[in-house]
Structure 1
Amino acid sequence: MKKLLVIFIFTNLVFTSCEDDYLDVSAPSNVDEDFVFASPEDAQKVMAGIYDLWYSLDRKLYYDLEVVGSDSERHPENYSAQLRHIPEGLFASEINIDYGNSKDTWTECYQIINRCNIMLESIEAKEEYQNAITQGTPSPWTQVYGEAVAARATCYKLLVRYFGDVPYFNYAIRTTAQTDTLGLSSRDFIYDSEIAALQEATPLMYRLGESNVNAERFSGTYADAIIGRLAFDAAGYQLRRTDFDYGSVSFDQIGVDNGTWQAKYVRRSDWRDYMAVAKEYYLKVVNNPGSAYLIENDDRGEDFNNPFQRNFQYLMDLEVSPESLYESGYTRGFNSDFPYSFGRPSGGGGSNAYPTKNYGQARIYSSFYYGDFVTEDKRRDVTACITANSGAASERLIDFSPGSREKGGLAMNKLDEARFSDPYITAQRRSGCNWQQLRMADVMLDLAYASAAIGDEATAKAYLEQVRSRAFNQEDQTEFVTNYINAISGQDLLDAIAFERKLELAGEGKTRWDMILYGTMPERIVALRNRQIAMVNGLKTDGFYTFPETGVTISNYIWTKYVDIKDIDPTLDLLTKETPNDLQPSDPIYPVLVPGWRGTSDLWTDYISTLPSDEVNLAIRGLYEYIDPNGTLAAELEADGYVRSPWGINMIENESQYTSDIFRGYPDSFFSAGEPPRYIMPIPSETISQSNGLITQGYGHASQ
């Protein structure tokens, strides 16, 4: 997607490095600062430089941990194939504390924090900014100031999430001497400080859509959401050190202290006060969103009826989605991990393929796909794919054998280069698709949870219903929305909201942190592992397993054949066609429409004239029903050209990958003993060694 902010060359020249420092921050000279901040437009150019850093900020630990480490999301390779699986799986063994992606995230967050502090100090000294504050209305000066505050707060949010209690400073660092007395700050102090700074800055920022501020910049709408997020995080369960002084803050604890790595799983005893703040500011988002809104209607014509998928199609059309509160903007032809890492896989080469290679880092547990989504849920087929792109304009069946591309198990389907309105084939990781980091449904479900947690069930149910409703057709509303929500209250309501977030946000890297904050990570890990074991045992014993929650069956084998869909129905477009709820396996179009949202791009057939039309799309039988390999139906299908294809059996052949390797660092014995989950990353060695003893390593990680 085209960036709306132009990155000026002199922006990079302005931020020259000061003497090397353990936080590895950078600072411009005072003369440069006066030049850069002569006008709000110049300050915005410097903010553009921060956004330029933002395109890769958090991508590395998001890739390693957040989008693969939950009870719905997983990695595609063998556990032993990648070092990143150790922290993802809660440290069954130790890693070098200078693990690259962790160290880079630490450094980049502090680089942005210091640059924001420099901007804030310089802007605060401007008479024009002071006059704008006095007038009390948003202006270009107060907007760019607020953007810097929001960027800093978001960086601290990430640092606390990944590292726990970290060094905190809200002033510009220009010399190494300023860091000599910096130790670790309590996350409570960090949350309170950044919430206060945002509360002051946000009222003087533009809402989304005002003054040409769209979701590729931090708006007042986004800033209110970050206040809500910080307060929500402050209220949640987190891993805390037992060798660190948290002052007067008292805690509610789950389980026992871990004496080996001196940590406990707790939340603040006054957590309800923070949940009330989260609710207040999330309400500000939904009541005054600017141009943002939850997409509840599909505006693409009578052949479309999936507002959930419509959100992601905006991204694939290289347009900013109206559901977005913030998208990190990418430019086509430059680095972009979307959908390379987090979309439908492709076996294509690095360039000039249809589409080019898509690795598929974010994968979906089969027990989640089969056991959590009811058949009527319109999100299921949009969320996960069962066919990959071959790289030569055709479908290829996903393989549960560990690996990448078409291997590695069920992959993400929210992004698919075959569904781009203008497919890009020149080179991999260059699609220009934005990273949607925060959208309205996310906020609404957080709002629902915060409301339910402090006893406002009416508000909680209203927003739960609004998000859930768009996932079902009109004829399914009574059963799956109205009756479902009316029947729950108390803890059941909180659990339902948590479950809805899992369904709504799968593959978007939200669920792992939800599990931590809700205090349910230990029990959800064990439940996931037990569920996967039951599935694999059923496949081994019976050749199939039916999930009791949904009644949907996964089998060892399915039957596939390539077809020319125009021979079946000349009007079919599998990339945009949904599966009708009442479609039966006996219907001729069933094998190509179940599941929906797959296929390949008609635009590519012009490029690949040598590919026969009957080698493009896969017809599939037995995906959700057991077909006896030795039975009559199997024989009939094979006589009709179908081939018996391995499906669940590949999980049997790689059993540990799908059972015992899941969260290897948190075995059942830990759960039985009430041990806390060890998810926090180590602080880099340079920070410790150069801190004059003020910063110590925690959570059992080495110090060097």
Structure 2
Amino acid sequence: MKKLLFLMLTVFMLINTSCKEDFLDVANPSSVDEDFVFGDASEARKVLAGLYDIWHDLDKRLFYDISSVGSDSENHPEFYASQGRHIPEGLFASEYDINDGNHRDTWNEAYLIINRSNIIMESIAEKEEYQSAVASGKANDYTHIYGEAMCHRATNYKMLIRYFGDVPYFDYPIRNTAQTDTLGYTMRDNIYDREIAALKTAVPLMYRLGENNVTAETFSGTYGDQLIARLAFDAAGFQLRRSDFDYSPVTFEQKGIEGWGAKYVRRTDYKEYYKTAKDYYLKVVNNPGSARLIESDERGTGFNNPFQRNFQYILDLEVSPESIFECGYTRTQNSDWPYSFGRPSGGGGSNAFPCKNYGQGRINSSFYFGDFDSSDMRRDVTACITANSGAATEKLINFSPGSREKGGLANNKFDESRMANPYTVKQRQSGVNWQQVRMANVMLNLAYAAAETGDEATAKTYFKKVRSRAFSAANQATKVNAYVDGMSGNALLRGIEQELKLELAGEGITRFDMVLFGTMPERIQNMRDTMKAMIDGMEANGYYSFPNGVDISSYVYTKEVNIKDVDGSLNYLTTQTPEGLSESDPLYPVLVPGWRGTSDLWSDIADTKQGHIAIRGMYKYIDPASAEGLALLADGYSLTDWGINLVNNRQQYTDDLFKGYPDGSFAAGVPPRYIMPLSGDALRTSKGLLTQGYGHPSAE
């Protein structure tokens, strides 16, 4: 009889099929004895490898649809009406297909991993080698594998809660349908508590990063401590909760009014969870194994950007020392980095340099121009103002909705042109890893948790540590020390929140931070107000000035240049623009904005034209009728469409951003409806154990 079993795909199959199918080289998995599969650690690792393989595919689904494009610093490139995925990303302005494959498969595959993790843990726990290690309190391969499986389970529950709210929970193997007959919702608070408690017993017996050949491409004790902290951090934050659930004995403080049959609340004892988060984030930074925050750039003269150094490790197909966990990919394996979340390329699907990069994850223009300090070395590493043609020439980004060079500013943290050995055979197979957790995020979360518990000294220490590497030595006193020391109380919390946004833009983390901090409604409204003011300013005056002193203009001045004619020694794709470069310097138009170009080694690949773009007026309005404007036109520059395409696509960049949370929602206290619906399969096969919530339709 079909029950909850069906909605979770093969997760509730018999043990031998559930834990070995597709992962072990056996002719008939169902006939193989379980003791053989876990006869030694190497066999158990094969099953773990299968879990990582599922995870690499699984978490990309809703990350692509929602997380990477649905914040006040990140958006999508296409017209709103062109893709159904824009509906959940924008907080459900209309009904959504509840049988859409990505959220249905996310649910199914998460439970597949959860059940296989439970099977692994149960089997490992019976091993004498495991029991002896636990008794002695010393890690061995079996305790580490047990901990990895535990991390898989907890990571997937964390993801399910983020997307679906309260979900079914089990921490034991499911081997038959009878075990699912009464498996309904478990309130998320109990899931957080039970997974935190389970991890606290398993993580101390895991190897830290760098021990016993453990790298950031698998879960480690370092990751496990981070996961405990992250679960507590999530548990402490604001979330949308159904009004028809009994969450007792937990009590809440509420923001705004009830809506969608739900309330936007956080636990009244939230500080206890922030204390746990603080304690375990401190365990990470005090005992990180081989992980570290990259605070200096050893690459030599001209580079000098430790923030970018982190991403260059990944582009060089090396595990970054800043990583706590990276999803590991190999070339010829389907990957979205940097195809979907990197610098766009107009190259063909194969045999191009680089091949097509679509650019799903985009950077909000008002964020790029208005939020960054002009001295912040993260700005141009985060967003690119030019795309690669795929044939050794730059193309100015176009704000008209679309893909590749269209669709607005794109993520510049990952650019295949910047790889030491680019893969030109086929698109989407670069071999670039997905860095999911890095030390800078850990430190800023630690700072936030410390500030919430009143430990402002610790909060400021780690706030400064991350911010410091974004500014030169000359700016440390004012841009880092005085900036951070001038904050306290709520201002300090908001300052750390902003720093997380600046540090992590384009990495798909900001959206849920907005939810947790309780500021999602306010930040949506502020973003839309800023976008409207920016577009109004350009329409009326040809430009808009942000409070930070930066202008965005309707048009910029561009001309194509041969970079070798400007300076044959330039490596401007891979080096940092010198600070304080004068606008009168001949290098200024090709080095500002920085971290762009096509390749520094094109002599054997490209034609000799070297089609790079010199740009003036990117951050300061230049009136075409002024002496400066006329001189640029006389020098061969052309007035080129820039912000005017924001003006021409006003709807796309204002009311269509978070269309399900229109103007007035914040003032009225309406809660943000970010929770995904359950699929028709889940509703139909649960026999009433699961019901649709959050205002989503139950009918298919």
| 1:344 and 2:347 are equivalent in the alignment | no
1:575 alignment partner in structure 2 = 573
| 1:629 and 2:630 are equivalent in the alignment | no
Match of 1:325, SS? Answer: strand
| 1:398 and 2:397 are equivalent in the alignment | yes
1:382 alignment partner in structure 2 = 381
1:439 alignment partner in structure 2 = 438
| 1:427 and 2:426 are equivalent in the alignment | yes
Question: Any idea what the Cα deviations from partners look like across 1:549-571, whole Å, max 9, x if unmatched?
Answer: x1000000001111112211221
Amino acid at match of 2:481: T
CA distance in structure 2 between the aligned counterparts of 1:672 and 1:599, rounded to whole angstroms: 44
Amino acid at match of 2:505: A
CA distance in structure 2 between the aligned counterparts of 1:702 and 1:401, rounded to whole angstroms: 33
CA distance in structure 2 between the aligned counterparts of 1:238 and 1:542, rounded to whole angstroms: 42
| Alpha-carbon distance, 1:638 to partner | 1.9
**Structure 1 length as normaliser, TM-score?**
0.95
Alignment CA distance shift 1:320-1:18 (3 Å): farther
CA distance in structure 2 between the aligned counterparts of 1:19 and 1:224, rounded to whole angstroms: 32
CA distance in structure 2 between the aligned counterparts of 1:121 and 1:627, rounded to whole angstroms: 68
2:685 alignment partner in structure 1 = 690
1:5 alignment partner in structure 2 = none
Ranges in structure 2 where 5+ consecutive residues have no aligned partner: 17-29
Match of 2:584, SS? Answer: coil
1:115-130 aligned at under 5 Å gives the runs 115-130=116-131
Q: Does the CA contact (< 8 Å) of 1:27 and 1:114 recur in 2?
A: no
The answer to which of 422-431 and 49-58 deviates more is 49-58
CA distance in structure 2 between the aligned counterparts of 1:144 and 1:252, rounded to whole angstroms: 40
Question: Any idea what the Cα deviations from partners look like across 1:635-694, whole Å, max 9, x if unmatched?
Answer: 221222211110000111111011111111011222222110000001122222222211
CA distance in structure 2 between the aligned counterparts of 1:169 and 1:20, rounded to whole angstroms: 13
The answer to which of 678-687 and 572-581 deviates more is 572-581
| Alpha-carbon distance, 1:172 to partner | 0.6
Q: Does the CA contact (< 8 Å) of 2:3 and 2:686 recur in 1?
A: no
Question: Any idea what the Cα deviations from partners look like across 1:172-230, whole Å, max 9, x if unmatched?
Answer: 11112211110000000100011011000000000000000000010000000000000
1:176 alignment partner in structure 2 = 177
| Alpha-carbon distance, 1:18 to partner | 13
CA distance in structure 2 between the aligned counterparts of 1:543 and 1:447, rounded to whole angstroms: 43
| Alpha-carbon distance, 1:397 to partner | 0.5
1:216-365 aligned at under 5 Å gives the runs 216-258=217-259, 261-365=260-364
Q: Does the CA contact (< 8 Å) of 2:3 and 2:685 recur in 1?
A: no
Aligned residues: 682
Amino acid at match of 1:162: Y
Alignment CA distance shift 1:479-1:354 (3 Å): same
| Alpha-carbon distance, 1:27 to partner | 4.4
CA distance in structure 2 between the aligned counterparts of 1:424 and 1:691, rounded to whole angstroms: 46
1:508 alignment partner in structure 2 = 507
Amino acid at match of 1:542: N
Alignment CA distance shift 1:315-1:42 (3 Å): same
2:191 alignment partner in structure 1 = 190
The answer to which of 582-591 and 444-453 deviates more is 582-591
Q: Does the CA contact (< 8 Å) of 1:27 and 1:115 recur in 2?
A: no
| 1:612 and 2:608 are equivalent in the alignment | yes
1:98 alignment partner in structure 2 = 99
1:154 alignment partner in structure 2 = 155
CA distance in structure 1 between the aligned counterparts of 2:14 and 2:535, rounded to whole angstroms: 56
Question: Any idea what the Cα deviations from partners look like across 1:352-386, whole Å, max 9, x if unmatched?
Answer: 11110000111111110110111100000100000
Question: Any idea what the Cα deviations from partners look like across 1:289-318, whole Å, max 9, x if unmatched?
Answer: 000000001011122200000000000000
CA distance in structure 1 between the aligned counterparts of 2:600 and 2:33, rounded to whole angstroms: 53
Q: Does the CA contact (< 8 Å) of 2:4 and 2:180 recur in 1?
A: no
CA distance in structure 1 between the aligned counterparts of 2:86 and 2:246, rounded to whole angstroms: 31
2:213 alignment partner in structure 1 = 212
Q: Does the CA contact (< 8 Å) of 1:181 and 1:691 recur in 2?
A: no
1:564 alignment partner in structure 2 = 562
| Alpha-carbon distance, 1:630 to partner | 2.6
| 1:553 and 2:551 are equivalent in the alignment | yes
Match of 1:56, SS? Answer: helix
Ranges in structure 1 where 5+ consecutive residues have no aligned partner: 1-16
Q: Does the CA contact (< 8 Å) of 1:505 and 1:511 recur in 2?
A: yes
Q: Does the CA contact (< 8 Å) of 2:401 and 2:408 recur in 1?
A: yes
CA distance in structure 2 between the aligned counterparts of 1:192 and 1:616, rounded to whole angstroms: 57
1:674 alignment partner in structure 2 = 669
Question: Any idea what the Cα deviations from partners look like across 1:140-172, whole Å, max 9, x if unmatched?
Answer: 000000000001000000000000000000111
Question: Any idea what the Cα deviations from partners look like across 1:425-453, whole Å, max 9, x if unmatched?
Answer: 10000000000000000000000000000
Match of 1:21, SS? Answer: helix
CA distance in structure 2 between the aligned counterparts of 1:32 and 1:343, rounded to whole angstroms: 45
Q: Which residue, 13, 19, 22 being the options, matches 2:7?
A: 22
| Alpha-carbon distance, 1:22 to partner | 2.5
Match of 2:398, SS? Answer: coil
Amino acid at match of 2:598: T
| 1:83 and 2:81 are equivalent in the alignment | no
2:138 alignment partner in structure 1 = 137
**Structure 2 length as normaliser, TM-score?**
0.96
The answer to which of 629-638 and 517-526 deviates more is 629-638
Match of 1:668, SS? Answer: coil
1:408 alignment partner in structure 2 = 407
Moved over 6 A (4+): none
| Alpha-carbon distance, 1:576 to partner | 1.9
Match of 1:644, SS? Answer: strand
2:20 alignment partner in structure 1 = none
Match of 2:560, SS? Answer: strand
Match of 1:606, SS? Answer: coil
CA distance in structure 1 between the aligned counterparts of 2:47 and 2:584, rounded to whole angstroms: 61
Q: Does the CA contact (< 8 Å) of 2:401 and 2:407 recur in 1?
A: yes
Q: Does the CA contact (< 8 Å) of 1:401 and 1:408 recur in 2?
A: yes
CA distance in structure 2 between the aligned counterparts of 1:253 and 1:272, rounded to whole angstroms: 15
| Alpha-carbon distance, 1:520 to partner | 0.3
Q: Does the CA contact (< 8 Å) of 1:393 and 1:605 recur in 2?
A: no
Q: Does the CA contact (< 8 Å) of 2:134 and 2:143 recur in 1?
A: yes
1:458-473 aligned at under 5 Å gives the runs 458-473=457-472
Q: Does the CA contact (< 8 Å) of 1:21 and 1:176 recur in 2?
A: no
| Alpha-carbon distance, 1:32 to partner | 3.6
The answer to which of 596-605 and 408-417 deviates more is 596-605
Question: Any idea what the Cα deviations from partners look like across 1:378-404, whole Å, max 9, x if unmatched?
Answer: 000100000000010111100000000
Match of 1:433, SS? Answer: coil
Amino acid at match of 1:188: D
Match of 2:7, SS? Answer: coil
The answer to which of 368-377 and 686-695 deviates more is 686-695
Q: Does the CA contact (< 8 Å) of 1:330 and 1:433 recur in 2?
A: yes
| Alpha-carbon distance, 1:36 to partner | 0.8
Amino acid at match of 1:116: S
1:11 alignment partner in structure 2 = none
1:586 alignment partner in structure 2 = 584
Q: Does the CA contact (< 8 Å) of 1:680 and 1:699 recur in 2?
A: yes
1:531 alignment partner in structure 2 = 530
CA distance in structure 2 between the aligned counterparts of 1:349 and 1:555, rounded to whole angstroms: 32
CA distance in structure 1 between the aligned counterparts of 2:394 and 2:181, rounded to whole angstroms: 58
1:29-108 aligned at under 5 Å gives the runs 29=16, 31-108=32-109
Match of 2:678, SS? Answer: coil
| 1:660 and 2:655 are equivalent in the alignment | yes
| 1:455 and 2:444 are equivalent in the alignment | no
| Alpha-carbon distance, 1:20 to partner | 5.8
Percent sequence identity over matched residues?
Answer: 63
Q: Does the CA contact (< 8 Å) of 1:116 and 1:148 recur in 2?
A: yes
The answer to which of 660-669 and 104-113 deviates more is 660-669
CA distance in structure 2 between the aligned counterparts of 1:32 and 1:635, rounded to whole angstroms: 81
2:25 alignment partner in structure 1 = none
Alignment CA distance shift 1:175-1:18 (3 Å): farther
CA distance in structure 1 between the aligned counterparts of 2:642 and 2:4, rounded to whole angstroms: 57
Q: Which residue, 639, 646, 652 being the options, matches 1:644?
A: 639
| Alpha-carbon distance, 1:629 to partner | 2.0
CA distance in structure 2 between the aligned counterparts of 1:186 and 1:364, rounded to whole angstroms: 35
| Alpha-carbon distance, 1:247 to partner | 1.9
